């Protein structure tokens, strides 16, 4: 729908766009690569490769900068040149289409590969569900005897904090989530949000949240299009913008992965600093304070931007390849092309197998849980029940009936909100009703 709207907007406004005039000198300095005249001036005896390049850039210039007669006459009468021709707008339509399709395909591929990794954790969940440990006396253990603490707690002090960040950075490349990590964070979530149901299926809940977040990841927001426009304006000959911009999603992805790993380290540090020994299992306390600005949702926006930017790099490459050919000057040198493609592949694999699974479980370590803690059937039932109760209460008020309300009639929207926020604090039955 967004793709169609943008295409319609370009079609409606193409007349006004063609009448936008700029200085003729800008058409020489704002080109994405060297022009035909510059090639001839720089080489006394141009080679066959230079001649081919000159012909291609001449064709690019004629297609993207010359335009039809109407807009050229309007701008020439002012002593200026048109900003975009009809052919340029047509190529922009094609590029937007290629970009949207590439982004959707890459997002789906990321979710499929990451989902396959997350589904492997189902074995851990099944093993926990089958555990039939009794309610006998609990053993008191030193916190440093727990594998989770030994793995993530690096001590107290400035040097230890630096070591913790370095460990978090490198751990995202191997075994980003271990069985101990999953077991400990699962128990911390349950004891914080649904203490009455220790058999709560955390894995199923985590998958429902991830499927809900996929709607955001696969979408294309307005600020992403603003980024595309800025890139196209900065893609000037000699700047190699298309090369340097490829490092932005890679740097952000490494930062996100490091932060997610460090959240796990902070959970371990909180327990190790406050307790020397604990009774029974190790329980961590989820908190929004461990995330940037106290908002776990920021991680989702960054992943969204990373996937879009990576898709943009690949889409731009294939658009140039199919439109102007591999040997065109706008494609750039091979030394700049290969690193871009390699970086794009690294981002795709790292995001799929490490960052996305980390995001799926670590973002559950916030102060609040999401509505997906109820399955879809229960969500619809609770909302429908609350709406019917509200309608019945309003109907009785309108008739002025002074009748005593039943327990169901006395329930209003505020009770519905309270149930969504505190599902497991009403006892074991409420916790079991989640599933």
Quote the CA–CA distance of 297 and 213 in Å, as a whole number.
10
Same domain, 80 and 210: no
CA–CA distance, 98 with 332 (Å, rounded to integer): 20
266 is a domain residue: yes
Residues 151 and 196 grouped into a single domain: yes
Residue showing tokens 């039939």: 132
Same domain? For 119 and 209 the reply is yes
The answer on 156 and 80 residing in a single domain is no
Domain's final residue, options 331, 355, 373: 373
137 & 80 share domain? no
The confidence score (pLDDT) of residue 105 equals 87
24 and 147 in a single domain? The answer is no
> Which of residues 373, 402, 424 is at a domain's end?
373
CA atoms within 13 A on the CB side of 22: 15
Are 358 and 121 spatial neighbours (Cβ–Cβ below 8 Å)?
Answer: no
Amino acid 327: pLDDT: 77
The pLDDT of 151-176, averaged and rounded, is: 80
Which tokens in the block code for residue 351? 């995001």
Residue-level pLDDT at 44? 43
User: Which structural domain, as residue segments, surrounds residue 10?
Assistant: 1-34+72-84
Q: Is residue 395 part of a domain?
A: no
Total-model pTM: 0.72
Give the C-alpha separation, 152 to 168, whole Å.
9
Which helix (DSSP H) or strand (DSSP E) does residue 132 occupy?
none
With respect to residue 396, please indicate whether it lies within any of the assigned structural domains. Answer: no
The predicted structure's pLDDT at residue 397:
63
- Give the pair of three-digit tokens for residue 339: 């690193």
For the residues 181-196, what does the mean pLDDT come to? 87
Neighbouring CB atoms inside 10 A of 4's CB total 8
pLDDT at 307: 87
In order of 54, 57, 397, the CA distances from 36 in angstroms are 5, 6, 81
**Are residues 223 and 279 both part of a single domain?**
yes
Do residues 79 and 124 both lie within one domain?
A: no
Report residue 433's pLDDT band, with 50, 70 and 90 as the boundaries: very low
Higher-confidence residue of 404 and 75: namely 75
Does residue 276 sit within a domain?
yes
What is the per-residue pLDDT for 418? 38
Do 17 and 155 fall within a single domain?
A: no
166 and 28, same structural domain? Answer: no
The total number of structural domains in the chain stands at: 2
Say yes or no: 16 and 120 in one domain: no
- 137: number of CA atoms within 13 Å, CB side? 3
On whether residue 400 sits in a domain, the answer given is no
Asked if residue 89 belongs to a domain, the reply is: no
150 and 9 housed in the same domain: no
């Amino acid at each position: 729908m967004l793709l169609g709207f943008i295409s319609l907007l370009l079609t409606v406004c193409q007349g006004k766009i063609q009448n936008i005039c700029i200085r003729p000198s800008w058409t020489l300095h704002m080109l994405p690569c060297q022009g035909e005249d510059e090639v001839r001036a720089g080489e006394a005896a141009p080679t066959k490769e230079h001649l081919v390049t000159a012909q291609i850039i001449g064709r690019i210039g004629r297609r993207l900068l010359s335009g039809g007669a109407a807009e050229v006459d309007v701008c020439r009468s002012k002593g200026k040149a048109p900003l975009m021709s009809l052919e340029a707008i047509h190529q922009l339509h094609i590029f937007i289409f290629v970009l949207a399709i590439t982004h959707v395909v890459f997002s789906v591929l990321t979710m499929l590969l990451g989902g396959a990794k997350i589904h492997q954790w189902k074995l851990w969940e099944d093993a926990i569900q089958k555990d039939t440990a009794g309610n006998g006396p609990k053993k008191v253990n030193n916190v440093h005897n727990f594998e989770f603490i030994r793995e993530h707690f690096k001590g107290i002090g400035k040097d230890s904090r630096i070591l913790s960040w370095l460990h978090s950075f490198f751990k995202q490349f191997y075994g980003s989530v271990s069985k101990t990590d999953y077991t400990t964070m699962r128990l911390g979530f349950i004891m914080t949000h649904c203490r009455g149901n220790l058999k709560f299926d955390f894995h199923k809940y985590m998958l429902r949240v991830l499927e809900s977040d996929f709607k955001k990841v696969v979408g294309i927001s307005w600020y992403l299009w603003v980024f595309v426009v800025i890139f196209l304006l900065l893609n000037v000959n000699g700047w190699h913008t298309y090369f340097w911009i490829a490092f932005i999603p890679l740097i952000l992805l490494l930062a996100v992965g490091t932060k997610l790993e460090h959240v796990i380290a902070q959970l371990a540090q909180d327990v190790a600093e406050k307790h020397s020994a604990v009774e029974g299992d190790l329980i961590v306390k989820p908190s929004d304070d461990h995330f940037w600005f106290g908002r776990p949702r920021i991680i989702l926006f960054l992943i969204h931007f990373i996937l879009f930017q990576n898709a943009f790099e690949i889409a731009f490459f294939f658009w140039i390849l199919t439109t102007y050919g591999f040997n065109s000057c706008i494609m750039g040198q091979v030394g700049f092309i290969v690193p871009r493609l390699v970086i794009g592949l690294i981002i795709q694999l790292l995001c799929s197998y490490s960052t996305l699974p980390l995001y799926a479980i670590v973002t559950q370590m916030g102060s609040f849980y999401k509505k997906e803690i109820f399955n879809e059937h229960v969500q619809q039932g609770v909302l429908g029940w609350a709406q019917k109760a509200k309608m019945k209460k309003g109907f009785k008020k309108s008739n002025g009936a002074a009748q005593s309300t039943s327990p169901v009639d006395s329930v209003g929207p505020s009770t519905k909100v309270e149930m969504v926020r505190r599902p497991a604090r009403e006892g074991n039955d409420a916790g079991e009703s989640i599933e």
